[in-house]
Structure 1
Amino acid sequence: MNRLNRRGLLLGADVAGYGKGDSSRQFAVQGAFLQLVSEAAACARLDRDTWLRQPSGDGELAVIPDDGSEPQVVDDFVRHLNVLLGRHNEGTDPSFRLRLRVAVHFGMTSPAANGIAGKAVVEVSRMLDSAVLHEALQTTPDANLALMVSQRVYEDTVEYGLTTYAGDDFRQVTVRHKEFEQSAWIHVPRAAVEGPADAGPADPRGAAPRQVVVNQFWETVQADGSVIGISNNR
């Protein structure tokens, strides 16, 4: 067995309408895309240096280590990216807005001579290129991105209650593209410029800060209506 094979979360992202721009527009789009994705990852406390990345000019395919960060990618990263895209697009001519299709899957991959190989790579690429995901973004002109997650990712994160999404935030679809045909789930968030999209230092462990409650009582304490012992330290 190839020791380079690894199981991980696959994140595909693609800029809508990239081919319609001239070379100067494409140059600007590529730079903005990388900046916004990197900033969204930092906001979500994801370490981009650990991602195995395959650039495609107008997008990227990345394999994220299987370290428990799946809910962060599906939830935190996508929400931050949506806000950052909204700020980038604010006041911009509609024909020059930066809008993304995003697909998330899970499976085995391995580095190859010209990128990343594996069945899961093909599958997430089919999801990203599918007509149903294109249509989801096209029919919601105010949206900055459209997200598609595979059936397994949906079950393991959204359905299992590991994200902040509501049950009706996603709709189930059937993806048919070339030889690929599987169920998936689509979410098109509302355009936003407000939200917690302020980058902080990336945690190399990929974990978001958690609130810790510490209560120590040495004798009777009268504290009706009070909150005691709230700490943001780990």
Structure 2
Amino acid sequence: MYEAIQEAFSITRLSWSAAHHEDRGDGILIVLPPVVPTFLLLDPLAHHLNAVLRRHNLMLSEMARLRLRLAGHAGFVYVDEYGVGGRAVNHLFRMLEASDFKEAIELAGTDLGLIVSDEMYRDVAGNGAYINPERYRSLRVKCKETVADAWLWLPSPARCGCG
């Protein structure tokens, strides 16, 4: 998982060493410096990570393939001796754990799914960034006490060129 994400960061020209990252057991929490353009976390990073995953999973069985859920949100976080915290972190994890998000990935059968907070999506889409808004669909997040709008991106189905 770390290798795939670090490779996608490199392709996207994001500095892994400048980011704060915490191992969360079955995932990684990554906090980027505020100077990183938010739009890089949407289409470019997601596309690159999908390509890396597709290559990685090419020769693996269904049971062995790596599947990832990716969430993006922007907001204030604080760091103390125990790690990163704050409302923005809580919101990020609520989106990541939302049952509708998990179900959408499962139904699509993809190796990657991206969910982005409404605020982040609107900031990026409203500022002329190079994303394809038609590739995103609105998703209502309901997890614990969080009820919020978010945006779902799933990769296009792979074209094998067969038949």
**TM-score calculated relative to the size of structure 2:** 0.92
Greater RCO between the two (CA within 8 Å, min separation 6)?
A: 1
CA–CA separation in structure 2 for the residues paired with 1:193 and 1:69: 31
**What one-letter code is carried by the residue in structure 2 that aligns with 1:189?**
P
Of 112, 121, 125 in structure 2, the residue corresponding to residue 154 of structure 1 is: 121
Contact preservation (8 Å) 1:83, 1:191 = no
Unaligned runs of 5+ in 2: none
Shift of 1:96: 1.2
Matched, 1:110 2:104: no
Question: Following TM superposition, where does structure 1 have runs of at least 4 consecutive aligned residues deviating by more than 4 angstroms?
Answer: 191-194
Alignment correspondent of 1:98: 66
- Which ranges in structure 1 are unaligned for 5 or more consecutive residues? 1-32, 195-234
> What is the distance in 2 between the residues matched to 1:104 and 1:174?
15
Give the corresponding residue for 2:95. 127
Aligned to 1:41: 9
Corresponding residue to 2:111 among 144, 157, 165: 144
The CA deviation string for residues 42-63 of structure 1, in whole angstroms up to 9 with x for no partner, is 0000001111112112211111
- Any idea what the Cα deviations from partners look like across 1:5-63, whole Å, max 9, x if unmatched? xxxxxxxxxxxxxxxxxxxxxxxxxxxx0000000000000001111112112211111
**Aligned residue in 2 for 1:63:** 31
Per-residue Cα deviation, 1:110-159 (whole angstroms, up to 9, x for no partner): 11232111110000010111101111111011x12010000011111134
Please say if 1:190 is aligned against 2:156: yes
Q: Describe the SS at the equivalent of 1:136.
A: helix
Q: Is the Cα–Cα contact under 8 Å of residues 105 and 113 in structure 2 kept in the other structure?
A: yes
Give 1:192 shift: 4.6
Name the SS of the counterpart of 1:65 in structure 2.
coil
Q: Secondary structure at the match of 2:105?
A: helix
Q: State whether residues 21 and 28 of structure 2, in contact with CA within 8 Å, keep that contact through their aligned partners in structure 1.
A: yes
Find the counterpart in structure 1 of residue 134 from structure 2: 168
Q: Which is higher, the Rg of structure 1 or of structure 2? A: 1
Counterpart residue type for residue 64 of structure 2: F
RMSD of aligned residue pairs (Cα, Å): 1.6
Cα distance in 2 for partners of 1:193, 1:56 equals: 34
SS at match of 1:103: strand
Partner of residue 87, structure 1:
55
Q: 3-state SS of the aligned residue for 1:95?
A: coil
Kept in 1, the 8 Å contact 2:70–2:113? The answer is yes
Deviations 1:79-118 (A, max 9, x none): 1100000000113111111111110001000112321111
What letter matches 1:49 in structure 2?
A: S
